Structure 1
Amino acid sequence: MKLPPSFTRRRWLGRSGALLAAAAAHPLAAVAQARPELRVGFQKSASLFVLQKSAGSLEKRLAPLGVAVKWVEFPAGPQLLEGLNVGAIDVGYVGEAPPIFAQAAGAQFVYIGYDPAAPQAEALVVPKDSPLRSVAELKGRKVALNKGSNVHYLLVRLLQKHGLSYADIQPVFLPPADARAAFERGAIDAWAIWDPFLAAVEKQAGARQLADGRGVVNNYLFYLAERGYAQRHPQVIQALFEDLGEQGRWVRANLRQAAERIAPLQGLDVEVVELSLRRYPLGVQPLTPAIAAEQQKIADTFFELKLLPRPLRILDALPGAATG
């Protein structure tokens, strides 16, 4: 499914900027009175959100608006999107695939931003003593992954690249902690996983990469908001963007120091966190037509594999899209 020709960059920038531009038209008191809280869904693997939570930077930025911050932790992106779907959170940060599955399930959200491509931040790994040396050797093997996560698409594309189909393997759907345990006891043959879990199993267990995402996937990370919340509280979304940008710039300029701050919060070694941060080029930006088109390709692929019940239009989950 292709984006319509009318979806020009000028039109997109007008749409994506609408939420932020509208902030100036809303009195501060109205935001606070309407909803004095921003509920942020985060994963412990989301290093920037973990840093923000620890530093209290978002709370300080939202204080003039009278808006409090509540942090709600989830084990992975699909579970986080379930939380958004049932109204448990207002914003979240996930990989490429979770928003697609959530949109298929009827979740009402909008893409409010993305971080640059991070293809090295996800990979297919095997134990260090595994006889497997190529993705092509995975036929009939058990491969663990978190269903509906960014690595779901990575696995599909890697299999295609090496002449296999998704039906050629035995997918084992496990969240990261359970997959790590299965990996270490030899219950699975390979594991599709993202950072910092990837860096951790490489550094701590000597896991060996069969392939990462380079040349196969982009692995964009997306910031999402519940549609109604984004429309009602553009000033809050603006403040979130500003804080993400400021914290992201600090991390990029101070990788080692950032890793030292984040490591104890994630329960990981500093070297593990630093490696993970090096593979994530943080830098929140509004979506562009090109990024939306890439998401559409992923949605179309999942539909063709019958992993989605119906075709999707990514345009329907963008700011300014008609609903109802």
Structure 2
Amino acid sequence: MSVRVGYFPHNNSLFVLRHTGILERELPDVTWVDLRSLPQGEQPDPRSGLPTVHSDQLFADGGYDVIGTGFTPPITALGAGHDVVYLGVSGPRVENGRIVVRADSPIKEVADLRGKRVGVAHGSWQTTLLLFALDQAGLTWADVEPVNAGANAARLFLDGDIDAWTGSYPDLDQVEARTEVRTLIHTEGLFSHPSLWFTRRDFAEHNREALTAIVAALQESDRWITENPRAAARFFVDDAEARGVAADLDAWERALRNRPFGINPVDAAFLDEQQRAADLLAANGLLPRRVRVRDAVLPWVNDVVAGTVATPA
């Protein structure tokens, strides 16, 4: 059978793996599915729901079998009633982004966001970061006006159309080169912000060899990224330029150098953090129901991932 792997630039590991040919050595019939080419469906109002496109395509004909995303989508999948299984998790990516305001903004602390327009890539890790920050300040999702800024976030921030921005690199590089910003709250100390990978339970149970090959290939490709960050950055720049979007090779190289690579088994700390996010999302009306994230753990999958983790020399 052909194994379908969903990829897009926001999961750096899978995006690079798509271009290295490493996985094809073990799975000649792999089919790469560009998430950007799939129907996105109607995007929910960011004040009242989370987009489910990532998890919906995991269960759709013409979708994919394995995907890598940021922190929030597997919670969304569970909230939509999908039977997903965690495949693995990266180390913390706390340097990848933070909540910022313009240097001259009257907003001095998170509590000042009440009633303000805050840009997020809604449904991504940015939703969770903002929600954790609001909760820490005694605010709820309803106290701010979240704006699903997407690819226009940097422009909206520079133009003053949003009051604060949950930004990430390399987009933050573009903004910081043009204007002075002030960090409202750092990601570090708030949550770990890892990348993660997940699949369907039925796919995991019936395709153990393929799943093992995917994990091993990701580990090998991630080691290559660590050793060759500029060559890896070129994949992202070439992709952006092919779509008519400007991209800076130095900025992408810096971003990749500052990110952890390698896949680890899910552990109690990660699951506790996912559960806290899931509880907050549900309490703020962003999930249709409460979920138990530990239902998405298969012990033997953790054993597979643990067996591929390199031992320090």
Structure-1-length-normalised TM-score: 0.78
The 1:78/1:151 distance shift into structure 2, 3 A limit, reads farther
How far apart, in 1, do the equivalents of 2:15 and 2:178 lie? 22
Letter in 1 for 2:34: V
Corresponding residue number in structure 1 for 2:286: 307
8 Å CA contact retained: 2:5, 2:30: no
8 Å CA contact retained: 1:121, 1:280: yes
The 1:289/1:103 distance shift into structure 2, 3 A limit, reads same
How far apart, in 1, do the equivalents of 2:235 and 2:148 lie? 32
Corresponding residue number in structure 1 for 2:276: 297
Residue 207 of structure 1 and its aligned partner are, at CA, apart by 4.9
Structure 1, residues 238-291: CA drift from partner, whole Å, max 9, x if none? 111111111111222333343244432344211221222133211101222332
Deviating more after overlay: 127-136 vs 304-313: 127-136
User: 3-state DSSP class of the match of 1:62?
Assistant: coil
Letter in 2 for 1:272: A
The 1:128/1:183 distance shift into structure 2, 3 A limit, reads same
Q: Identity over aligned residues, as a percent?
A: 31
- The structure where helix makes up a greater share of residues is 1
Corresponding residue number in structure 1 for 2:221: 247
The 1:107/1:243 distance shift into structure 2, 3 A limit, reads same
Letter in 2 for 1:70: W
8 Å CA contact retained: 1:144, 1:172: yes
Structure 1, residues 189-214: CA drift from partner, whole Å, max 9, x if none? 11213344344444466554322311
Corresponding residue number in structure 1 for 2:311: none
8 Å CA contact retained: 1:203, 1:272: no
Corresponding residue number in structure 2 for 1:48: 13
The 1:89/1:128 distance shift into structure 2, 3 A limit, reads farther
Deviating more after overlay: 257-266 vs 139-148: 257-266
8 Å CA contact retained: 1:143, 1:188: yes
Corresponding residue number in structure 2 for 1:62: 27
Deviating more after overlay: 121-130 vs 43-52: 121-130
User: 3-state DSSP class of the match of 1:74?
Assistant: helix
Residue 320 of structure 1 and its aligned partner are, at CA, apart by 6.0
Residue 230 of structure 1 and its aligned partner are, at CA, apart by 1.6
User: 3-state DSSP class of the match of 2:89?
Assistant: strand
Corresponding residue number in structure 1 for 2:129: 154
Matched, 1:273 2:252: yes
The number of aligned residues is 282
- Gaps spanning 5+ residues in structure 2: where? 41-50, 242-246, 301-313
Find the partner of 1:166 among 141, 154, 163: 141
User: 3-state DSSP class of the match of 1:248?
Assistant: helix
The 1:270/1:207 distance shift into structure 2, 3 A limit, reads farther
The 1:85/1:122 distance shift into structure 2, 3 A limit, reads farther
Residue 314 of structure 1 and its aligned partner are, at CA, apart by 0.9
8 Å CA contact retained: 1:84, 1:107: no
8 Å CA contact retained: 2:9, 2:236: no
User: 3-state DSSP class of the match of 2:118?
Assistant: strand
Matched, 1:73 2:1: no
Letter in 2 for 1:185: D
- Gaps spanning 5+ residues in structure 1: where? 1-34
Corresponding residue number in structure 2 for 1:38: 3
User: 3-state DSSP class of the match of 1:124?
Assistant: strand
The 1:317/1:200 distance shift into structure 2, 3 A limit, reads farther
Residue 232 of structure 1 and its aligned partner are, at CA, apart by 1.3
Corresponding residue number in structure 2 for 1:231: 205
How far apart, in 1, do the equivalents of 2:181 and 2:21 lie? 35
8 Å CA contact retained: 1:41, 1:92: yes
Deviating more after overlay: 259-268 vs 38-47: 259-268
The 1:205/1:83 distance shift into structure 2, 3 A limit, reads farther
> What value does the CA root-mean-square deviation take over the aligned residues?
2.6
Residue 103 of structure 1 and its aligned partner are, at CA, apart by 0.8
How far apart, in 2, do the equivalents of 1:38 and 1:130 lie? 49
Matched, 1:101 2:76: yes
